[in-house]
């Protein structure tokens, strides 16, 4: 799919995977609408071609309004990359008692429902655009995780939310095929994001040592590069692609 003179939406676009993806798209002459929480956008880097929109992905009405803004331009909305998410850590039975149901629900609400809200609203706007010569109208890429397959101790809520994203990839692709919209997902391993800045160098080195090759943490720019490759490759549809250096997570 040719992205030149088109628009795109990236959620979680203020930092990490979202920021790297927004910047990569903008570098390809795409008008990017980066959606994130208002307090997160206060620290976002001002870059030509990126327009920031404050919205909570768990709020369907706010998402709908943001998507409509992104779609109301002369450039057709062609690409959506969902990067917004949270990583709660809690065991089913912890020292303070059973896993907090509210925390579990929050992980599902942000990671799964937030992704679905954007997917559904964006698809509704993308289907209104004129298709290209191959009948394509757009591509939606969601962010899963290797935790969907190799969830570790304390990741039950996170793993469940990401496994659900894996599970909805194929049916979503089938649902939207008649509208010329492809749906795929990326399942990253351990990525050097702002979240990782909170851990010690020792922990970071230990995580990197567990990756077969290359023996380091992934970079946000590599996620962005893969997203652009998926968008460019017209025959990749309904797929979940692991980006993990052959890492298979151990129980802890």
Residue 235 appears among annotated catalytic residues:
no
226's enclosing H/E stretch is helix 220-232
Closest to 111 (Cα-Cα) out of 147, 61, 138, 154 = 147
| CB neighbour list of residue 95: distance below 8 Å, 6 or more residues apart | none
| CB neighbour list of residue 175: distance below 8 Å, 6 or more residues apart | none
Angle of helix 16-26 versus helix 220-232 axis, rounded to 10: 50
Whether the bond between 214 and the residue before it is cis, its omega within 30 degrees of 0, is yes
Cα–Cα distance measured from residue 224 to residue 243, given in angstroms and rounded to the nearest whole number: 11
Cα–Cα distance measured from residue 8 to residue 50, given in angstroms and rounded to the nearest whole number: 10
Closest to 218 (Cα-Cα) out of 244, 246, 194, 197 = 244
3-class secondary structure, 77? strand
Quote the Cα angle for 220-75-227, to 5°: 20
DSSP summary character for residue 70: H
- Catalytic residue, from 33, 52, 158, 235: name it: 158
Cα–Cα distance measured from residue 99 to residue 119, given in angstroms and rounded to the nearest whole number: 29
Known catalytic residues are 158
């Amino acid at each position: 799919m040719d992205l030149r003179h088109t628009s795109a939406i990236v959620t979680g676009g203020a930092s990490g995977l979202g920021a790297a993806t927004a910047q990569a798209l903008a570098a390809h002459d795409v008008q990017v609408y980066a959606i994130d929480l208002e307090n997160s956008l206060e620290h976002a880097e001002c870059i030509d071609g990126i327009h920031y929109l404050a919205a909570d992905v768990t709020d369907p009405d706010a998402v709908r309004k943001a998507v409509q803004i992104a779609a109301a331009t002369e450039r057709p909305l062609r690409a959506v990359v969902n990067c917004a998410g949270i990583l709660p850590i809690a065991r089913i039975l912890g020292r303070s008692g059973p896993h907090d149901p509210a925390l579990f629900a929050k992980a599902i609400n942000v990671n799964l429902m937030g992704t679905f809200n954007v997917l559904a609203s964006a698809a509704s706007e993308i289907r209104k655009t004129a298709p290209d010569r191959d009948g394509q109208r757009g591509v939606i890429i969601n962010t899963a995780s290797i935790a969907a397959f190799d969830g570790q101790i304390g990741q039950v809520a996170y793993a469940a939310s990401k496994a659900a994203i894996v599970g909805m990839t194929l049916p979503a692709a089938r649902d939207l095929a008649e509208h010329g919209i492809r749906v795929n997902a990326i399942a990253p391993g351990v990525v050097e994001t702002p979240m990782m800045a909170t851990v010690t160098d020792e922990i970071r080195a230990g995580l990197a040592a567990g990756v077969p090759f290359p023996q380091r943490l992934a970079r946000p720019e590599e996620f962005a590069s893969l997203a652009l490759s998926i968008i460019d490759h017209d025959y990749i549809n309904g797929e979940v692609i692991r980006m993990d250096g052959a890492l298979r997570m151990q129980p802890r």
